[in-house]
Structure 1
Amino acid sequence: MESKRQKQVAKQIQKDLGEIFQREMKSQLEGAFVTITDVKVTPDLAIARVYLSFLLTKDKEGILQIIRENTKSIRTQLGERVRHQLRIVPNLQFFIDDTAEYAQKIDALFATIVIPPAEEETES
């Protein structure tokens, strides 16, 4: 169960990282549109796990690798934005959020299910 403070910090990090990816990192991401779908912060606020979704790219792993290589500069930019709200800027860990793809696969499976019509019971 996340505390109120963890939720507040996660929301602030999500907002600020979104702006960083849209403005400062745009040229490095090869035209990919990066969305921060979720941020989970540890109870001590030292680590933030950032879940990303990618649009307009086929190479999600490649873009994720670029982001991971630039984690230090991203954290620095985040620190400049949250320096008055947080005492310690959390270490950032980036992951691909595949929930949309998973939901799409489940929907496709449900679409292929054939349910035979129920037989009406006859009264004797």
Structure 2
Amino acid sequence: MESKRQQKFAGVIQQDLAAIFQREGMNFLPNTLITITKVRTTPDLAIARVFLSFFNTANAEQALQTIKLHASEIRYKLGRQIKDQVRVIPQLEFFVDDTSDYVNRMDKIFDKIHKDENEQ
């Protein structure tokens, strides 16, 4: 369970990273929309785990690797924005948010169950 402090800090990071990806995301991944679905921070606020969703890309894992290559540059830009609000700029760890894939998979299962019930 995250503390209020962690949640507030994660919200600040999410907003500022979203602004960075909106302004400069095309430099990292042309023709790809990058959204930040959630941010989780460690209790000491030293690490921020950022969950990303990619739209208009064929391979999300390859897109994630590209973002990871630019992680230090992204952290630097984040640091310039939040330096007056925090003591330490957190290390950024990026992950693919597979929630939409999970939802699609569950929808297919429920559709199949519903179809099987109607056939009986």
TM category (shorter chain) comes to over 0.9
Rg larger in structure: 1
2:50 aligned partner, one-letter code? V
Q: Secondary structure at the match of 2:30?
A: coil
Q: State the distance in 1 between where 2:118 and 2:82 align.
A: 58
Superposition CA RMSD, Å: 1.5
Q: How does 1:10-89 map to 2 (within 5 A)?
A: 10-89=10-89
Q: Secondary structure at the match of 1:2?
A: coil
Q: Percent identity?
A: 47
Q: Secondary structure at the match of 1:14?
A: helix
Structure 1 residue 28: Cα displacement: 2.1
After TM superposition, the score normalised by the length of structure 1 is 0.90
Q: State the distance in 1 between where 2:91 and 2:66 align.
A: 17
1:30 aligned partner, one-letter code? P
| Structure 1 residue runs without a partner (length 5+) | 119-124
Q: Secondary structure at the match of 1:24?
A: helix
1:21 aligned partner, one-letter code? F
Q: Secondary structure at the match of 1:92?
A: strand
Contact 2:25 2:34 in 1 (8 A): no
After TM superposition, the score normalised by the length of structure 2 is 0.93
Number of residue pairs aligned between Structure 1 and Structure 2: 118
Contact 2:36 2:52 in 1 (8 A): yes
Greater shift in the superposed pair: 34-43 or 57-66: 57-66
Aligned match of 1:115: 117
| Structure 2 residue runs without a partner (length 5+) | none
Q: Secondary structure at the match of 1:48?
A: strand
State the Cα deviation string for residues 74-94 of structure 1 (Å, max 9, x = none). 000000000011100100000
Structure 1 residue 115: Cα displacement: 2.1
Structure 1 residue 108: Cα displacement: 0.6
Contact 2:25 2:33 in 1 (8 A): no
